Structure 1
Amino acid sequence: MRLLSAIAFIAPVQAGLRFPCSTLTIQRLDPVVQPGINPSAHVHHIVGGNAFNATMLGDVGARATCTTCQMAEDFSNYWTAHLYFKHPVNGSYHRVPVIPVQPLLGGSNGAQGGLTVYYTQFDLSRDNLNQQKIKAFPPGFRMTVGSPTATAREHIGLSYQCMTGGNRGTLQANFPDKPCSGGIFTTHHFPPCWDGKNLDSADHQSHMYNTVNTDYFNNAPACPESHPVRVPQVTFEITWDTTKFNSMWTSGPNPFVWSFEGSGYGTHGDYMFGWKDDALQRAMDKSECFYDGCGSITKQAMSTANQCKVADMVGEETDGWLDSLPGMAMPA
């Protein structure tokens, strides 16, 4: 399915947001799963507000002063494990570059690396029979999707696509088994139903309920009584530029690994809400338009967003050819 065709399909459905966020930092920190621990277990690719730190409590949006996202009122943070190439001959590792998702790369967009974020209603579904009012997340809210320890597909909203030119290719649950001439495209869909009480849970997922039952669309009933609050469908997409490594992958199994080394089924994402005031709610209250919340949200130039940075709080090398992944002991 070509990206432009997909966007043409979903654009008329309902209000929503779709916008780029440049890379904020790449380091071993995870304030949701391993709060206060520096460094965390594995390297993450992080975008969003500059309040990002090893420990993040309370209203993140109130503390941040800049964001790498195009939506100037979004100081949330979004992150995933980082992708690495494992050399099939000598076993060394190299970080895979991130490039902006097409077609957001074109024109005067100017995103640097990063990912594309969606906040949509009703899981991009045309079925309006079960519509519920969308309630924006409260300050302090956080959640994850997926697990680095997974050995089989645990959440249908996590997928890979092998890009060839402008074509994303077939959705699949694990890494592509052949070189991709346009890079590897990953998608992370988060659950859209909240229990309405807990800002987090012990596993960072139990306070949420998933109604997505296909790779892109929700045909399930309304949110259940246990998780009755319909929140925006958060999704983010990343294009990993694996092309520079294709000449080194001449045969054998897929040589790409996440920064924790495990199975491709272990792809996962973290979200920490940080929108200013009622900005997200304003966008979700609009209808019949897409991308920009019907003009309800202030945008900033990506040249401004790209200036937002945080310090290296870990102080280790995560790029270049490495004998072992950061945080992972070398084999005996």
Structure 2
Amino acid sequence: MSEVRLGKTEIVSDKNGFGALPIQRISFDEAEKLILKAYDAGITYFDTARFYTDSEQKLGRALKGKRHDVTIATKTMCTTTEEFWAQLDQSLTDLDTDYIDLYQFHNPDFCPKPGDGSGLYEAMLEAKKQGKILHIGITNHRLAIADEAVESGLYETMQFPFSYLASPEDLALAEKCRDHDMGFIAMKALSGGLITRADVAYAFCDKYDYVLPIWGVQKMSELDDFLACAKNPPVYDGAMEAFVAKEREQLAGDFCRGCGYCLPCPQGINIPDCARMSLLIRRAPIELYMNDDYQAQMQQVKECIHCDQCNGRCPYGLDTPALLEKNLKDYEQQLAAHH
């Protein structure tokens, strides 16, 4: 099994990190079975966040008694020091632990630094001094902030979207982290579900010995795919390169990555699904998206009031209302043709 070292943290993990965002959608018992299967198969790196509702609680319950055999990374979206300490204490409680291996600022819209007036980085240092956290990291979706964090030398890890759809700038960021001995953690390695071949996704990330991909899984079958890749690593060969070239062509330009930072929508629109429906119905069996529930979701797009809250929150600068309208039109055409 391939391993990766997360820079100066000296944390070593196998090439399969467990992304715990999707386990919000399953029961505690289902989550426990999934987490324990991953652990028994050799996965030791578990990624979650305070923002992921009950994900921390599910990890805490499943990993009870195994704490010193695993690495737990979580995140805070705090904007004040009061929120920092409240969220950290709640994470420690929910994870049923007295320390967090890697604590990260969760997609902040600026790079926290000492003396910036927010007090956030100073709080991180104090938490580390108290032994509540062992390492300080940051996650982001914005290249400018990510670059600033690397150049600052203040962070031990960077978590950033990275997959075979990565741009040259994304690749350069990963290399910069390597050069700064900064751990690089690949989020959205499946591009929010748009990437459907686990073998190609794994093989691409495996080319970079300094990149740790975290896979968001909520089904045993999904976990099995990555465990199989770890056991018999697929080779990124010419056939895969040709496949990726076609994928890049199809997904070129503006598309929703499904990160969810646009939520909540005041009109209750499920933006991450609705804004990329055109792609979803072309990359998976169309029947999955033609049921009554999805039809109702797509009809909600008509309730958009163009408040532009989603635009302001989108880290990729997408014109979300326009994207929603485009996807609704395409969906209705596909629905008519399907029936």
Please give the range of the TM-score, normalised by the shorter of the 2 chains: under 0.3
Return the structure number with greater strand share. Answer: 1
Return the structure number with greater helix share. Answer: 2
Q: What's the TM-score, normalizing by structure 2?
A: 0.26
Q: Looking at both structures, which has the greater relative contact order when contacts are Cα pairs under 8 Å and sequence separation is at least 6?
A: 1
Which structure has the greater CA radius of gyration?
A: 2
